[in-house]
Structure 1
Amino acid sequence: MTTVFVSGANGYIAQHVIVQLIAKGYDVIGSIRSEEKGEKLKKNLNSSKFTYVIIPDIIKEDAFDEVLKANPQITAFLHTASPVVFDVDDFEQDVIIPALKGTVNVMNSIKKFAPQITRFVYTSSFAAITSSEHTKDTVITEDTWNKIARDGGVEPMLAYRVSKTFAEKSVWDFYEKEKPNFTFNVVNPTMVFGPQAFDSEVKGTLNFSAEIINKILKLKPEDEVPEFRGGFIDVRDIAKAHLFALETEKTSLRLLCVEERFSNQSCLDLIHKNFSLDLPKGSPGTGSDFSQMPILDNSKTKALIGPFIGLEQSVIDTVKQVLDNQK
């Protein structure tokens, strides 16, 4: 059975990916930034099919060299590690460069020291697809690119969009110029909801996308409901997309993973429908007008890996896990 390397193994998406890989019989080696996090994940997985290595800094040029030299059984690499941080002083140094250099370093190491690796999967983002110039008449598909400039990261969300756009472009450019042994596919998720892979990961503040639901649960009855909206996909479907990207004979795919639109109000309405919680009501029924947003058409992706978990089920599973672990 194939041994798969997963970078950033303790991430929200990566943990679900690893759970599904192990369930299908794969051996998995994951990179973690510290022994403490590695031991926690190993305990949660409770499987002899998972081991980890410590790579504290993925932007070092030789960060992945030794692990690839030492493990010639690795034949596939899933690169999920990338910073999703917004509370930083230097967006270039703390967000953009780590995403870009980390990705290039991985591919260089594979080409130099692991020619037996034939499959590479990169976790990109809808941020590499959507752009501020897109209007309600724009049809966004798997072929759409964010046209943001390299120096466009002047505030947190823009910096993230720059990081994901140019890191993904580096994958396409590397493959075109360097002609490595591996073929590749890219997974582009929108906002990701759904339960954590393990209850022990439910804490005061979750990762950026899952925290959207968690923030709603922290509202007081008299609070205003903040305006926020976007596209949604469940984390379990993102993991499914990674396994498809790994196993399919198709190559050079972009898998645009979105099931439907959401807003804070539409999520709040679903929470009130399914739970008896002391939360604000907002303006029920008004959160589902997305007519001013670009049109999303990921029919190619859905034909390959759909159907996806719907927003209501994802919200129910997310909220239930949070509530169960507050007891």
Structure 2
Amino acid sequence: MSTQTTVFVSGATGFIALHVVDKLLREGYKVIGSARSQEKCDELLQKFNYNPSISTEIVPDISNLAAFDDVFKKHGHEIKIVLHTASPFRFDVNDYGKDLLIPAVNGTKSVLNAIKKYGAQSVERVVVTSSVAAQINIKGANRDDLVLTEESWNDATWENCQTDPMAVYCASKTFAERAAWDFIRENKDQVIFKLSTVLPVYVFGPQLFPEPSKKELNTSSEIINQIVHADKDTELMQLNGGFIDVRDVAKAHLLAFQKDECASQRLSLHGGMFATQDFLDIINEDFSQLRGKIPVGKPGTGKLITSKGYQINNDKTKKLLGFPFIGLRECVDDSVSQILKMEDMTE
């Protein structure tokens, strides 16, 4: 694929998307990134030192079914690759439909319909950022006999998912991804592009552009950030699930459209299981300056926690992508090192 290929990245200011944009630029692609406001667009350009290979477009509300029309009216003839990363990932919501479900689904529909209207003969590959949330209904996540694969789907419905923010978020990713595959089936004679989806688990790892003044990080990174800033008596939320490093997620987004064998595939991005206790053990072992200041929990019990409940088999994805994922210790150590360095810069 030509190094002059133009790639459109929706939601280009996000945690994952920034790493994706960085890899694209390093590999010689031309990038058009969308953000919600002129201010965010300006910040994005500044972060990449006004690299001439990146430009921006404002898409203020992905809930609008015509949200991406103007982008593709303007650039549809040149865009060859679309990476749709924009989707809400937050739990402090008041209106489940308005804040999570509708933006996720309409955002996916609007970008695909814009391609159909204005880029049907130029866009060749589309990659949609989905989530393990689209593979599992969290109401059944504690089943020890449940093994998720690339063929697994969350069976939540629009009506029964609206019980709590986590269940709604998981459902939003499910409905958005299903909308993408439905679009392919319904429009196979009208568009030339092939679709791939990437389904990361909890995404950790360093920020591409650390901001020392920023006290709170993105939703997943904040889990580690809170541990670093906890005192030894803090009662931490006990989480467990699958993990993946953001640098591997970015790499997978590029391979998803670069490798022919990844076309029409769901790529399950899972590097292993984690529990909050694993984070505590690694941080206490590897950062002497935090030892005695942060909680210790019950050292060594992480495996007891992660051995229960659902497991993930993504051997198919690993074979398709063809690279080893970053391990938990390296992921956590790099994250914590960056957080501590940011603290030193503010002192």
TM-score by length of 2: 0.92
**Residues 91-130 of structure 1 aligned to structure 2 (within 5 Å):** 91-115=96-120, 116-130=122-136
Q: Is it true that 1:286 corresponds to 2:301 in the alignment?
A: yes
8 Å Cα contact 1:8/1:79 also seen in 2: yes
Number of equivalences? 327
Give the partner amino acid of 2:113.
N
Residue 239 of structure 1: aligned partner? 250
1: CA distance, partners of 2:174 / 2:68: 23
Contact kept, 8 Å, 2:20 with 2:251, in 1: the verdict is: yes
CA–CA separation in structure 2 for the residues paired with 1:139 and 1:60: 36
Does residue 310 in structure 1 map to residue 327 in structure 2? yes
Query: Is residue 138 from structure 1 mapped to residue 146 from structure 2 by the alignment?
Result: yes
Q: CA deviation at 1:21?
A: 0.5
Distance 1:295 1:167 in 2: 23
Deviates more, 1:131-140 or 1:20-29: 131-140
The 1-side partners of 2:212 and 2:259 are apart by 31
Provide the C-alpha distance between the structure 2 equivalents of 1:209 and 1:224, rounded to a whole number of angstroms.
18
Indicate conservation of the 8 Å contact 2:81/2:257, yes or no.
yes
The C-alpha deviation readout for 1:164-206, integer Å capped at 9, x for no partner, is 0010000010100111221110000000000001122872111
Matches of residues 241-256 of structure 1 in structure 2 within 5 Å?
Answer: 241-250=252-261, 251-256=263-268
The residue identity in structure 2 corresponding to 1:133 is G
Partner of residue 75, structure 1: 80
Q: Deviations over 1:131-164 (max 9, x none)?
A: 2335111221111111111211221001101100
Q: Aligned equivalents of 2:38 and 2:225: distance in 1?
A: 28
- For 2:224 and 2:157, locate their aligned partners in 1 and report how far apart those are by CA, in whole Å: 31
Equivalent residue for 1:319, pick from 325, 332, 336 = 336
Query: Per-residue deviation at 1:87?
Result: 1.1
User: SS of 1:317's equivalent?
Assistant: helix
**d(CA) in 2 for partners of 1:40, 1:237:** 24
Which amino acid is 2:311 matched to?
I
Aligned to 1:262: 274
1:245-288 Cα offsets, whole Å, 9 max, x none, are: 11111321111001011111111100011102021111111112
Give the deviation of 1:295 after TM superposition.
2.2
SS of 2:260's partner is: coil
Output one character per residue of 1:219-247: Cα deviation in whole Å (capped at 9) or x when no partner: 11122343111100000000011001111
The amino acid across from 1:45 in the alignment is: F
Moved over 6 A (4+): none
Residue identity matched to 1:186: T
1:66: which partner in 2?
Answer: 70
Letter in 2 for 1:119: R
- Does structure 1 residue 194 correspond to structure 2 residue 199? no
Deviation at 1:211, TM superposition (A): 0.9
Query: Secondary structure, in 3 states, of the residue corresponding to 1:326?
Result: helix
- 3-state SS, counterpart of residue 199 of structure 2: strand
Asked if residue 35 in structure 1 is aligned to residue 71 in structure 2, the reply is no
- Take 1:222 and 1:166, find their aligned partners in 2: how far apart are those partners? 40
**Contact 2:212–2:343 (CA<8 Å) still a contact in 1?**
no
Report whether the alignment pairs 1:84 with 2:89.
yes
**Aligned counterparts of 1:52 and 1:202: Cα–Cα separation in 2:** 25
Q: Secondary structure at the match of 1:77?
A: strand
- The alignment's C-alpha RMSD in Å is 1.2
Aligned to 1:230, the other structure's residue is in SS state: strand
Do the aligned partners of 2:212 and 2:342 also contact (CA within 8 Å) in 1? no
Q: How high is the sequence identity, in percent, across the aligned residues?
A: 46
Matched residue, 2:311: 295
Shift of 1:213: 0.6
Q: Secondary structure at the match of 2:299?
A: coil
Q: Which amino acid aligns with 2:240?
A: R
Q: Distance between the aligned counterparts of 1:304 and 1:202, measured in 2?
A: 40
Instruction: Find the aligned partners of 1:14 and 1:201 in 2 and give their Cα distance.
Output: 20
Is residue 165 from structure 1 mapped to residue 174 from structure 2 by the alignment? yes
Structure 2 unaligned runs (5+)? none
Q: Deviations over 1:37-87 (max 9, x none)?
A: 111111111221111111111122222112212112111110000001211
Structure 1: give runs of 5+ residues left out of the alignment.
none
In the TM superposition, what is the alpha-carbon distance from 1:25 to its structure 2 partner? 0.3
Contact 1:259 1:310 in 2 (8 A): yes
Larger displacement relative to structure 2 (13-22 or 218-227): 218-227
Q: Which amino acid aligns with 2:148?
A: I
**Residue of structure 2 in register with 1:224 after alignment:** 235
